[in-house]
Amino acid sequence: MTVRMNYRGFGKITFESSALAFGTARLPGFQSPAGIDKKEAVKLIRFAIDHGVNYVDLGFPWNDRRNEAIVATVRTALADGYRDRVKVALTVPASSIGSPRDFDEYLTGQLKLLGRDEIDFLLLGRLMRDNWPRLRDLGAVPWIDKVIKDGRATHAGFTFHDHYQILKQIVQDYEGWSVVQVQYSFMDIDHDPGTSGIGYASDSGLAVVVAEPLKGGRLTKEPPERVRQVWTEAKRDWSLAEWGLRFVWNHPGVATVVCDMNNMEQLAENLEVAQTAVPDSLTVQEEVLLGRVRDAYRNARQVPCPSCRPCMPCRAGIDVPRFFEVYNDACMYGDIETARAICADEALHPEDCVECRECESRCAKRLPIVEWVKKGRDYLSV
């Protein structure tokens, strides 16, 4: 296979990233009881690098055992000179930081697993309004300065899932950020942080790394009938994956797109599309069609919650807006399994609700939150 990879500017850093980045969250065998098929995974990662991919994301460490298996696999894949051909991003999750010394402890553990003394991109994840003030008070900024100074990381950034205004605040709080990683797809144009958030970050000199461009595979599953009807009007013979990826690469502010690839067929298709998907290449008609697909999906949303978050915090530790987002996604995409997996990974535990209704008294839309939490729980059986 011959590939002429597209490379894109990477914010203020002197580096051009491949349009396609390798994500490690769904390596071959990731769902099997036996775990990751290391041989196949190494083959896949090396094939990507041999065909121009130069950015590998170790992913968000939701689960310690899975994270260790992923890092060990990447370590093997990057032996034999492959490490020098790629940049690697490692995430320190906000939830693992409870005291100032946790920053160093976590990073040291991850570097040890990777068998390295340094990482190219150190990302703090997943920053949002509920955790950034805490991390900042624990000394996140001087710690990042120190890590860059002593060479354990070359550049710093953060993964982010919140509103545009919060993104602005975090960007303005520290001038040393080089990268921000966000989730973005044609379904996410107006939230967390949406198209304008990406524009703001790239205008501020940050490299924007997009994750979940196909919403964890939900945009490539057989769509519900109302959505399928809209797709029949497409004038292009593109697969659902190609439509989704082309939308994200169409944004000139996007530096690279992390795809969590599982097999050679997916990788080959993504490499193929990455060759020709350049910024501003979608026509108005194609964008209108994607807008109509978006509306058709959204018609099945249940909870009219815009994730504005005055309801938080919850005394039982439930991230109410996030749970509603996951519930709405399950209804829109007809995918309960993925929603359950997210609930487990992100420890959303809606079953802990004690019905105190404090959140309802603060809700900007006066939503009957307790009722919706119950309905969501029943629908997902969690």
- Site for ligand SF4 contains 370 (CB under 6 A): yes
- Site for ligand SF4 contains 382 (CB under 6 A): no
Q: At 219, is the secondary structure helix, strand, or coil?
A: coil
- Site for ligand SF4 contains 347 (CB under 6 A): no
Pairwise CA distance, residues 308 & 329, whole Å: 17
Q: Strand 7-10 to strand 13-18: parallel, antiparallel, or no bridges (unpaired)?
A: antiparallel
If the CB atoms of residues 19 and 320 are measured against ligand SF4, the closer one turns out to be 320
Q: What's 364's DSSP letter?
A: T
Q: Helix 320-333 to helix 284-298 angle, to the nearest 10 degrees?
A: 110
Nearest-approach distance from CB 181 to ligand SF4, in angstroms: 23
**Binding-residue pattern over the window 284 to 323 for ligand SF4, x denoting contact by CB under 6 A:** ---------------------xxxxxxx--xxx-x-xx--
If the CB atoms of residues 288 and 356 are measured against ligand SF4, the closer one turns out to be 356
- Site for ligand SF4 contains 230 (CB under 6 A): no
| DSSP secondary structure string for all residues of 177-217 | EEEEEEE--TT-TTSTTHHHHHHHHHHTTPEEEEE-TTTTT
Nearest-approach distance from CB 277 to ligand SF4, in angstroms: 34
Give which of 112, 122, 136, 127 is closest to 87, Cα–Cα. 122
Number of residues that bind ligand SF4 (CB under 6 A): 27
Return the ∠ at Cα 131 (arms to 126 and 135), rounded to 5°. Answer: 95
If the CB atoms of residues 248 and 318 are measured against ligand SF4, the closer one turns out to be 318
Query: CB-based burial of residue 288 (10 Å sphere; 0-12 exposed, 13-18 middle, 19+ buried)?
Result: exposed
Nearest-approach distance from CB 34 to ligand SF4, in angstroms: 38
- Site for ligand SF4 contains 128 (CB under 6 A): no
Give which of 100, 101, 150, 147 is closest to 123, Cα–Cα. 147
Contacting residue, 239, 354, 361, 371, with ligand SF4 by CB under 6 A: 354
- Site for ligand SF4 contains 367 (CB under 6 A): yes
- Site for ligand SF4 contains 344 (CB under 6 A): no
Q: What's 346's DSSP letter?
A: T
Pairwise CA distance, residues 26 & 28, whole Å: 6
Nearest-approach distance from CB 306 to ligand SF4, in angstroms: 6
Contacting residue, 356, 361, 368, 371, with ligand SF4 by CB under 6 A: 356
If the CB atoms of residues 205 and 310 are measured against ligand SF4, the closer one turns out to be 310
Query: Rounded to 5 degrees, what are φ and ψ at 55?
Result: -140, 125
- Site for ligand SF4 contains 130 (CB under 6 A): no
What are the residues binding ligand SF4 (CB under 6 A)?
305-311, 314-316, 318, 320-321, 353-359, 363-365, 367, 369-370, 373
